Structure 1
Amino acid sequence: MTASVMRTDLPPELEAVRNVARRALGPVTPTTDNTKADKDFLFKAKRTEAGRKLPAQHLVYFVLADLLGFKNLGKFEKVAWSIPVDFNGRAFLIEHRKFGVGVFAHDPATEEADAEKIVNHIHKAVKVARPFFDWLAGKAVEDSSVNVNNNSTALFDRFEYFVEAHRNKAKEADDRKGERVVKKGGTEGHSWESITYPAMRLRTEARWLGLAAIEAFFSWTEHVLIHIGILSGGMRTAGDVAKLAEADWATKYKSALDLADPASKDFYDRLLVVRKELRNFLAHGSFGKQGEAFSFHSSAGAVPVLLPDPIGSRKFSFGQHLSFDVAGPIRTIEEFIGHLWSGPRAPAEIYIQRYQLPLILTMVADGSYAQAMASPEEMEQFAHYLAGRFDQATDMDW
């Protein structure tokens, strides 16, 4: 059984890593004409228990195929890749099948001990190959041969959950606004009575849930605005995406929406107010940027003081306590969501929210996204096709 060896060109400083990994594999070598293999071994090899303890499939493949040049026999039905190895003259297969990567043998009942030794050697090789993995990942990022994970739907579901909970709690507060709970107790001559109003507590809880919804909205937009920017062609490289991910919310907004559009500019201004007056108040532990953590001592009594915005004046100023009216901001947010998925961004909703696909940067460079963003119909066809390809890869239906 023969498998030719192919090598990946490495920078000189990583040749030593290749040599160390080769030694770490010990008697695990590429197969040769002298490797013993039963007839139809490639089709009848069975999974060993030891093989379930292999490292992640991509690390195994990177070490064996990319770093050390073991031959990959290619894809088969329900098999993503297959690498034959020789262990003390006997053939084994290292394969990534639908139910996971593993070591496959002629007869697992008698070769389990050898399979365990193979797994141990691969673990050692993976451990010493870490600099190679770093180089491989860095090269992929440099070439923008990467996908950007899409968590938009999960983040939006969180926002909707808190909005619904906020409204349910607020409705309960309204339904019980006239309710009083009277409790009495004590002994003769020492009785007591307390009166509570459940609606007051319910309104407080409704406000908390509303604030959580606003937090969840900004978390979602921090994510989804980047994805819209990629689909729109504003970011073409992994460096562009990384830079925007580190930028502030306002910059992300401008990457996805054109402020020359009056409606987009209006929402931008309104949402900035929400972000500053509510979200930043919470994010900074109720001190501010405009949180009234201090009260000014005066002949008129305690007067609220506003802490200065870091960008603005360094002087304190008198102010009013924030009302924390969450109903208005939530209405603004929901109006904005309708605007976000309208006009030229309507196709993006299909790709990002409905199909929940990752963003593939090479498809920015080759014009695939530009073509798909031409209309909702174009995007529907494109996303459906791409989702099918992902399903095919997951099921290994080649």
Structure 2
Amino acid sequence: MKLEDLEAIRRSAWRALGPIRPTDSNTKADKNFLLNGKKTNAGRDLPPYYLVYFLLVDLLGFKNLGRFEKIDWSIPIDFNGQAYLVEYGKFGLNLFAHDPEKEEHAAREITIRIQKGVKASRLFFDFLASQAIERSEINVVNNSIALHDRFEFAKDLYISKCAEIKHRDNEYALKRKQRELPFGFYIGPPSSNLKEEANWLAISAIESFFSWTEHVLIHLAILIGSVVSAREVADLATADWSKKFKTVFKLNDKKEKTLFDEALSLRQELRNFIAHGAFGKQGEAFSFHSTAGAVPVLLPHNRGSKKFSLGEQLEFDADVAFDIINVFIQALWSKERAPAHLYIQMSRLPTILTFVTDGTYARAMTSLESMEELIEYLSNMVDQAANMDW
């Protein structure tokens, strides 16, 4: 951002704030106001705390009094000669006054003025964000546990449904043995509808699995140092699943190459088919007219080695699919990738890109013990920040 552009934003912000100014020797304040100030109702409507801080401290140079117990930052302001306090602590962002009942109207105007100042400074906030991204000073949110739990939930429902089918089939077989039916009569097994439901649950589980892998492979790529910058992370997030896999696994390893081929087949022939409204990319949903009647466009000899082609009822071999998934998960957290399981799938901590460039993750990935030490250290920092126990 050019200096003249920054100055233009700063002038707009000052105009929006109006009579709000940093405190000085002429500002009226009780002796113990910093300790005895009381919350105003208007303070509940202040913009997000970080935008208020960027506006007042980073852009306009208001003084931050620093951290106190349960307080992250505290900024005294002057409004028409009277002292007020904008403060962010454990219980959120608040605006403090001497006497909230008498000063509520002024507090409301301060809040409105700060809201206008934030709106006038949006280009500055965008600049701060872009600068942080260019320096890769960012954390990547880790949703791996929740996404994996969703997969496990759907898989458990599928397993439960299969157990119910087996029980019902056994029950039906026993009853059929005990009772002879008249010639020409037939009672179908009660599990036919359940099998269709089990198939749906399997498809949902597999979709959830690939949703999890799309996420977890990015975090793993960060931990092992395959991506080091915010731009690389952003590019990988938009890349196809194959690239994410190749960023983490080694295709020159025969076992990992086989895993890639099988997992990719599962993704392409099943997950993509369902995700695109049950219309495949090779005419799977089409039947051509012929003297033999309607015939699938994708004839058997064109299917090649496809293991997961779906028929009219979206049927497929779920057991084979889950076998591949189980092998994938075991391989994902094996060998040199094992320490990453503790960080990504057990801690809920974000991945921190600056830890890639300074070698923190490289050191932690050398052993399970090193990773446990890093997790404990970061977890303590997170708890300290949440409780604001400075």
SS of 2:68's partner is: coil
SS of 1:81's partner is: strand
- The aligned counterpart of 1:190 is none
2:378 corresponds to 1:397: no
Question: Structure 1: how far apart are the matches of 2:186 and 2:125?
Answer: 68
2:366 corresponds to 1:374: yes
2:67 corresponds to 1:75: yes
Which residue, 250, 253, 264 being the options, matches 1:258? 250
SS of 2:28's partner is: coil
SS of 2:226's partner is: coil
- The aligned counterpart of 2:149 is 157
- The aligned counterpart of 1:108 is 100
SS of 1:103's partner is: strand
2:273 corresponds to 1:293: no
- The aligned counterpart of 2:168 is 176
TM-superposed CA distance for 1:12, in Å, is 2.0
SS of 1:301's partner is: coil
2:241 corresponds to 1:249: yes
Q: Which amino acid aligns with 1:275?
A: R
State whether residues 234 and 255 of structure 1, in contact with CA within 8 Å, keep that contact through their aligned partners in structure 2: yes
Q: Which amino acid aligns with 2:72?
A: A
SS of 1:111's partner is: helix
Q: Deviations over 1:313-371 (max 9, x none)?
A: xxxxxx98474112211121022111111111111111111111101111111111111
With the length of structure 2 as denominator, give the TM-score of the two structures. Answer: 0.90
Question: Structure 2: how far apart are the matches of 1:18 and 1:89?
Answer: 22
2:13 corresponds to 1:26: no
State whether residues 71 and 388 of structure 2, in contact with CA within 8 Å, keep that contact through their aligned partners in structure 1: yes
The runs of at least 4 consecutive aligned structure 1 residues that moved more than 3 Å come to 193-198, 319-323
Which residue, 292, 298, 312 being the options, matches 1:306? 298
Question: Structure 1: how far apart are the matches of 2:159 and 2:282?
Answer: 27
State whether residues 233 and 364 of structure 1, in contact with CA within 8 Å, keep that contact through their aligned partners in structure 2: yes
RMSD (Å), alpha carbons: 2.1
Identity of aligned residues (%): 55
Which residue, 310, 321, 330 being the options, matches 1:329? 321
TM-superposed CA distance for 1:109, in Å, is 2.5
TM-superposed CA distance for 1:260, in Å, is 2.1
Q: Which moved more, 1:195-204 or 1:35-44?
A: 195-204
2:47 corresponds to 1:64: no
- The aligned counterpart of 1:207 is 199
In proportion to residue count, which structure has more strand? Answer: 1
SS of 2:63's partner is: coil
Question: Structure 1: how far apart are the matches of 2:329 and 2:138?
Answer: 28
Distance 1:112 1:292, change over 3 A: same
- The aligned counterpart of 1:358 is 350
Q: Deviations over 1:1-51 (max 9, x none)?
A: xxxxxxxx9632232111011110011110001111111221221211110
Q: Deviations over 1:83-135 (max 9, x none)?
A: 10001111111010111001011222322221111101001111111111111
Q: Deviations over 1:51-108 (max 9, x none)?
A: 0111110111111111111111111111111110001111111010111001011222
Question: Structure 2: how far apart are the matches of 1:76 and 1:261?
Answer: 54
SS of 1:86's partner is: strand
State whether residues 199 and 315 of structure 2, in contact with CA within 8 Å, keep that contact through their aligned partners in structure 1: no
State whether residues 179 and 199 of structure 1, in contact with CA within 8 Å, keep that contact through their aligned partners in structure 2: no
Q: Which one has more relative contact order, counting CA pairs under 8 Å at least 6 apart?
A: 2
TM-superposed CA distance for 1:277, in Å, is 1.2
State whether residues 270 and 310 of structure 2, in contact with CA within 8 Å, keep that contact through their aligned partners in structure 1: no
TM-superposed CA distance for 1:177, in Å, is 2.1
SS of 1:393's partner is: helix
State whether residues 179 and 198 of structure 1, in contact with CA within 8 Å, keep that contact through their aligned partners in structure 2: no
Q: Deviations over 1:279-307 (max 9, x none)?
A: 11101211102462111222233221129
SS of 1:176's partner is: helix
Q: Deviations over 1:250-270 (max 9, x none)?
A: 100111111222222121111
Distance 1:19 1:198, change over 3 A: farther
State whether residues 310 and 316 of structure 2, in contact with CA within 8 Å, keep that contact through their aligned partners in structure 1: no
Q: Which moved more, 1:292-301 or 1:222-231?
A: 292-301
TM-superposed CA distance for 1:197, in Å, is 4.3
SS of 1:162's partner is: helix
